[in-house]
Structure 1
Amino acid sequence: MKKLIIPFMLMLVLIISACGKESATQKENNSDASKEEKSEFITYQSETGPVEVPADPQRVILLSGFTGNVLQLGVNVVGVDVWSKNNPTFEKELKDVEEVSDENLEKIIELEPDLIIGLSNVKNLDKLKEIAPTVTYTWGKVDYLTQHVEIGKLLNKEKEAQAWVDDFKKRAETAGEEIRAKIGEDTTVTVIESYDKDLYVFGDNWARGTEILYQAMKLKMPEKVQKMALESGYYALSAEVLPEYAGDYIILSKYADADSSFQETETYKNIPAVKNGQVFEMTGNGASFSDPVTLEKQLAFFEESFLGN
């Protein structure tokens, strides 16, 4: 009997020990699963406070631009605003992406987004937050490069965003040095846009390539433009006074359906930049964006126009 009792006791100890190990392993597995579950979200410090957002968003909706920022970082987009959808710069990337608006909540729900991005003035913000984590930005609160880094933080791709910013800034500054060396340090450049029947000149932070030309490349704007448009960002003017704002070079942003009859007037034809062939026309459609995809396109345009690269 004693010989039988000893093995039985030994077996009982082994079973209890195994159960204990299994319980510990189960706890560890549960702990790992909990950590994995938590890691599926990150806390983004937005303008309005901390927001829990996906660590790896798969279905992003953009209601107010920032489309090129998200595309450049390789994140999937399922819905965009009408301006992004009609932007020829994104035509290929957004071919199969739905057009949405902050007023069509049903459409947004159908697309099952896991993240929504927009400007601070979007409508139905509270309802949007019920559909998916929603982050908004105040346009112009930070500069165009910092904005991309912020989008990078939101998408858990800050390193990638910062790397692009550093590289782009370096390339734009180098191009600026080459352009100034060619045209002269004091040579002025004016950015004009023809939209519908109106004409505008721009300061140094209103897209249309102004951030590149004036901030990164350090090209100069005429005093009249600086006085009227630098602080406000843009200034509307008539064709009759255009010569007063024209620099030695003109970047003319033209929308496809804009009234360009001003270019046929003697007033316009007698502007020195026009007479000297120093007007560079670029497509206005899409020029109002200042995201990485657009900026790369504009930088290439300026290098080709000024340097023939």
Structure 2
Amino acid sequence: MKKLLIPFLLLLVLMLSACTDAANETAETETQTESETTTDQSTGETQSGTITYESENGPVEVPANPERVIVLSTFAGNVLALDVPVVGVDSWSKNNPRYELDGVEEVTDENLEKILELEPDLIIGLSSMKNVEKLQEIAPVVTFTYGKLDYLTQHLEIGKLVNKEAEAKAWIDDFKARAAEAGTEIKAKIGEHATVSVIENFNKELYVFGDNWARGTEILYQEMKLNMPEKVKEMALEPGYYSLSLEVLPEFAGDYLIVSKAEDTETSFMESETFKNIPAVKNNQVYVANAKEFYFNDPITLEYQLEFFIESFLGN
């Protein structure tokens, strides 16, 4: 009788153990399934690989780690600086020699078929771009109003959008410190009261810029605290830029002059007597930059602009 009882008890123990393991496995599977559909309250990120970005037009569900981004205007350098893969950009960005865009397609907000072929998982552009609703059928779309945010806050927002806010913040803090330090050194060399102007010739028009229209103005005026001529302050500070004629250019020219120009634009004004007689020109205090490298105010462009200003003002 004892010989029969021992095998029976052993079998009973094995059966109970198997049942317990099966129950635990079922409960674990149910827990995992439930967690895949819940949201991490601290980050807004879901297990399905998306985050909710609070855009100026409301919440947009975007990839937590975008891998095929199309940037239709202005912000390509911000995305590239955060090491996020880009598959399509606007023509202005495509022509920027500072951006590494080999294999990246040039597209517009009207190239819907081409955009569809590129299979983007995120599209970024300006609030003024066309076909937003049609683009939303292809991928999540986030737009920004140009100038609504200051240039560094704009980069921080791009960082939030592509889930790299910490990286964006770290770069901003470091950049501000380096730019301020360079500004102190430049002021010590050129004088506390010296003025600087930034001009550009585009489509046969001359422009002078305020403190927030790229071309290095954010660095010169906001970070380095260099002085803007009174005439520039009066006409260009609020709108960001001001169109002027060659005849009145001397009124807007500072002690130092930054000329943003491209090889394919008309620059004959620089050969005129009016230009040559500007004190900054006579004193050899004119620094000429490649406009295609100066158009934007993203981290890649800003790093180049900062290097350009340090070399121009302090290198000789």
TM-score, scaled to structure 2: 0.92
Cα deviation 1:125-151 (Å, max 9, x = unaligned): 011111111110000001001111110
SS at match of 1:139: coil
Contact 1:196-1:257 within 8 A present in 2 as well: no
Is residue 73 of structure 1 aligned with residue 82 of structure 2?
Answer: yes
Contact 1:172-1:217 within 8 A present in 2 as well: yes
Q: Which residue of 2 aligns with 1:13?
A: 16
SS at match of 2:260: strand
SS at match of 1:285: helix
CA-CA distance at 1:25 after TM superposition: 2.8
CA-CA distance at 1:89 after TM superposition: 1.7
Q: Which residue of 2 aligns with 1:22?
A: 25
Cα deviation 1:215-258 (Å, max 9, x = unaligned): 00011111111111111111111111111111101001112122
SS at match of 1:38: coil
Q: Which runs of 5+ in 1 are unaligned?
A: none
Q: Distance in 1 between matches of 2:313 and 2:18?
A: 82
Q: Distance in 2 between matches of 1:43 and 1:49?
A: 10
Matches of residues 240-279 of structure 1 in structure 2 within 5 Å?
240-279=247-286
CA-CA distance at 1:39 after TM superposition: 5.1
Q: Which residue of 2 aligns with 1:48?
A: 57
Q: Alignment partner for residue 219 of structure 1, among 223, 226, 229? A: 226
SS at match of 1:13: helix
Cα deviation 1:99-143 (Å, max 9, x = unaligned): 111101111111111111000011110111111111100000010
Q: Which residue of 2 aligns with 1:152?
A: 159
Q: Distance in 2 between matches of 1:15 and 1:272?
A: 92
Q: Distance in 2 between matches of 1:133 and 1:159?
A: 22
Q: Alignment partner for residue 193 of structure 1, among 196, 200, 213? A: 200
Which AA in structure 2 matches 1:80? Answer: V
Is residue 129 of structure 1 aligned with residue 129 of structure 2?
Answer: no
Q: Distance in 2 between matches of 1:254 and 1:101?
A: 25
Which AA in structure 2 matches 1:38? Answer: Q
Contact 1:256-1:285 within 8 A present in 2 as well: no
With 279-288 and 68-77 compared, the bigger mean Cα shift is at 279-288
Contact 1:196-1:255 within 8 A present in 2 as well: no
Is residue 100 of structure 1 aligned with residue 107 of structure 2?
Answer: yes
Contact 1:69-1:148 within 8 A present in 2 as well: yes
Contact 1:229-1:235 within 8 A present in 2 as well: yes
Which AA in structure 2 matches 1:100? Answer: V
SS at match of 2:293: coil
Which AA in structure 1 matches 2:239? Answer: S
Q: Which residue of 2 aligns with 1:59?
A: 68
SS at match of 2:292: coil
Q: Which residue of 2 aligns with 1:288?
A: 295
SS at match of 1:286: helix
SS at match of 1:42: strand
Is residue 238 of structure 1 aligned with residue 241 of structure 2?
Answer: no
Q: Distance in 2 between matches of 1:165 and 1:118?
A: 22
Is residue 181 of structure 1 aligned with residue 188 of structure 2?
Answer: yes
Q: Distance in 1 between matches of 2:60 and 2:257?
A: 44
* Count of aligned positions: 307
Which AA in structure 1 matches 2:153? Answer: T
Cα deviation 1:275-304 (Å, max 9, x = unaligned): 000010001123221100000000000000
Which AA in structure 2 matches 1:17? Answer: T
SS at match of 1:301: helix
Which AA in structure 2 matches 1:158? Answer: E
Q: Distance in 2 between matches of 1:106 and 1:171?
A: 44
Q: Distance in 1 between matches of 2:257 and 2:46?
A: 55
TM-score, scaled to structure 1: 0.94
CA-CA distance at 1:197 after TM superposition: 1.4
Q: Which residue of 1 aligns with 2:41?
A: none
Percent identity over paired residues: 64
Which AA in structure 2 matches 1:21? Answer: N
CA-CA distance at 1:194 after TM superposition: 1.4
CA 1:15 to 1:265, structure 2 compared with 1: closer, same or farther past 3 Å?
closer
